Amino acid sequence: MSNVRWTADELKLAFYLYCQLPFGRLHKGNPDIIRLANRLGRTSSSVAMKLVNFASLDPAITGTGRKGLSGASKLDRAIWEQFQNDWQSLVDECSVLLATSDDVSTTDDPNVAEAAADYFGETREAQVRIRIRQSFFRKAVLASYGAKCCMSGLSEPRLLLASHIVPWRVDEANRLNPANGLCLSALHDRAFDQGLIALSDEFTVMVSDRLKGRADSFAQSTLVAIEGNEIVLPERFAPDGGLVRWHRENVFVG
């Protein structure tokens, strides 16, 4: 079936996977690509090629001199454009197409489960949907940052979080937007969430006076010491400047 024209639903699933994989893992031997190929009845080579087609449309990839394949179709472009500003529809549609929650990780944000009662209702289906959405967000953010904290360089996955720049409860439109995410260690995530650290417009770390004034050697060495450092920017989905500014103006304790 690998020579059969791709359908819109197949392309949605391919794009969904593309967003969750680092550029360097878009190859036919990747287990995630093999899994999707088996589901679609295509070869892993054809799925990998389609993901690299999407890379050719990604300015974050082409802007660094890397190139995908040049064979992106009109429908590839339409799928790309459709979901750039509607991440929730992408995740929800693909979760229905996949019809499974086997690959869902636990939510990063402890407030998400609490918010579920207001946002969806307290049904099991709603909880599964939230976990699917959070799983996509986590994978997309961690893949973009090479699974390393952008402030400390920590790479232990069990200590990494996909942190929302603008909190989940505040901005419905950007809940699943990977550009509303930072890959942070659990410590830096908590400090960012509490407004003890923030980012400048140049993506350098800002530290609250509340931390700088504390006689706490651990806080001084792990948080205060990184003030002025540039974060390591992601391969894709660079932090949205407007969202970074919102956090600085509304959350940061200056």
Q: Is residue 213 within 8 Å of residue 150, measured between CB atoms?
A: no
Host H or E run for residue 177: none
Q: For residues 136 and 84, what is the distance between their CA atoms, to the nearest angstrom?
A: 14
What mean pLDDT is reported for the chain? 87
Residue 230 has pLDDT above 80, yes or no: yes
Domain spans of the chain, in order of start: 8-84, 145-250
Among residues of the chain, what percentage have pLDDT more than 90? 67
- Residue range 39-68: average pLDDT? 85
Among residues of the chain, what percentage have pLDDT more than 70? 86
Host H or E run for residue 147: none
pTM, full prediction:
0.85
- Give, in degrees to the nearest 5, the angle at Cα 186 between 133 and 229: 110
Q: Can you spell out the DSSP letters for 99-146? A: T--TTPPPPS-HHHHHHHHHHT-S-HHHHHHHHHHHHHHHHHHHHHTT
Q: Among 126-130, 229-233, 249-253, which is the least confidently predicted range? A: 126-130
Q: Quick one: pLDDT band at residue 102, thresholds 50, 70, 90?
A: very low
Q: Is residue 184 within 8 Å of residue 144, measured between CB atoms?
A: no
Tens-place pLDDT, residues 138-149: 999 999 999 999
pLDDT of residue 120: 47
Cα distance from N-terminal residue to C-terminal residue, the chain: 58
